[in-house]
A and B are shown apart, each in its own frame.
Chain A
């Protein structure tokens, strides 16, 4: 395959898939800049693949899977940093600037987005893939490498939990 041909294919995949994975990234992380970074990382990995995928749909599932992993790593990092900042604040040493940034970020988010952020990552990611990725249970199961039954249960729990949070403002497992 010529370089020109592969670049053309990349652009086709980019145009088709970017909106889907950006929405998913945004609703998992709640941050536009972070979502753009994650999408950039996912597309670099896609470009670096040695063996091209047969069609745009396969590329979409592959990119969503990569993005899910990147978002998960980002989430873990964010939770670690928040815990660290909370510890610092509790010790009363100083006002941690990133904690303040986090508070400002939360304020800017919509009510629903804030509620989504309160869900555990496992439930949030499945519901985001369902509602914003518009994927079937089977497709979600393939991306997350879990059973369809597991997807069904997680979507149900996520939906119930989100509904409760929006109503009452608190996540109750």
Chain B
């Protein structure tokens, strides 16, 4: 059985391994139809190769001379001057993502340095009284226009053993006087 014309074309281009090539050659030897097909392909190839080729050497010289005068050929692009083409939608999207990230960072996450406290408005403030003075805290809240209610659980007995004992007693007294 004759191989397909496409297979003969592939054989003609030398794309088969040795065993496949030998098989097809053996078939062609005994099949006139396939032999004619290979002859057609050979004729087409010879026609393609048999023509007045332009003078390649002359063209090579012309192009090289043109390259010497081409400003892009004089200066090799250095890395930091290299043009990188990025589609506009990608730039816009990247800028939007960066803006959203930074906005989220500043709005939702508090930064703490030394005695300065950045407060999250939704959550209750929990502080150790030895880390900050109450009047400092009150002044801070006033400056931020907070409506605050300071509740302190003062133990019944007066023999405190925690730091800040005088301040607590004083505030406790102020509240009672009111």
Contact = CB atoms under 8 A, between A and B. Distances in A.
Contacts of A44: 67, 70, 72-73
B96 interface: no
Interface stretch (B7-15, B141-149, B165-173): B7-15
Contacts of A39: 59, 63
Interface in A3-53: 3, 6, 14, 18-19, 22-23, 26-27, 32, 35-36, 39-40, 43-44, 47-48, 50
Interface residues of A, number: 39
Contacts of B53: 23, 26
Nearest to A165: B44
Contact of B15 (A22, A35, A110, A152): A152
Contact of B77 (A23, A50, A160): A50
A152 B63 contact: no
Secondary structure type dominating chain A contacts: helix
Contacts of A18: 56, 60, 63
A160 B5 contact: yes
Contacts of B60: 14, 18-19, 22
A112 B51 contact: yes
A32 B13 contact: no
B66 interface: yes
B6 A110 contact: no
Interface stretch (A69-77, A83-91, A96-104, A130-138): A130-138
A44 B77 CA distance: 11
A20 B16 CA distance: 24
B9 A155 contact: yes
Nearest to A136: B15
Contacts of A14: 60, 64
Secondary structure type dominating chain B contacts: helix
B31 to A, nearest CB: 18
A153 interface: yes
A18 B62 CA distance: 12
A23 B48 CA distance: 12
B52 interface: yes
A117 interface: no
A130 B40 CA distance: 17
B54 interface: yes
Interface in B121-158: none
Contacts of A6: 76
A163 B40 contact: yes
A13 to B, nearest CB: 12
Which are the 6 A-B pairs with shortest beta-carbon distances?
A156-B9, A110-B51, A156-B6, A32-B54, A163-B44, A112-B47
Interface of B: 5-6, 9-10, 13, 15, 40-41, 43-45, 47-54, 56, 59-60, 62-64, 66-67, 70, 72-73, 76-77, 79, 82
Given A47-B67, A153-B6, 19 more contacts: A19-B60, A23-B53, A27-B48, A39-B59, A43-B63, A44-B67, A44-B72, A44-B73, A50-B82, A110-B51, A131-B48, A132-B48, A137-B13, A137-B15, A152-B6, A152-B10, A163-B43, A166-B44, A166-B47
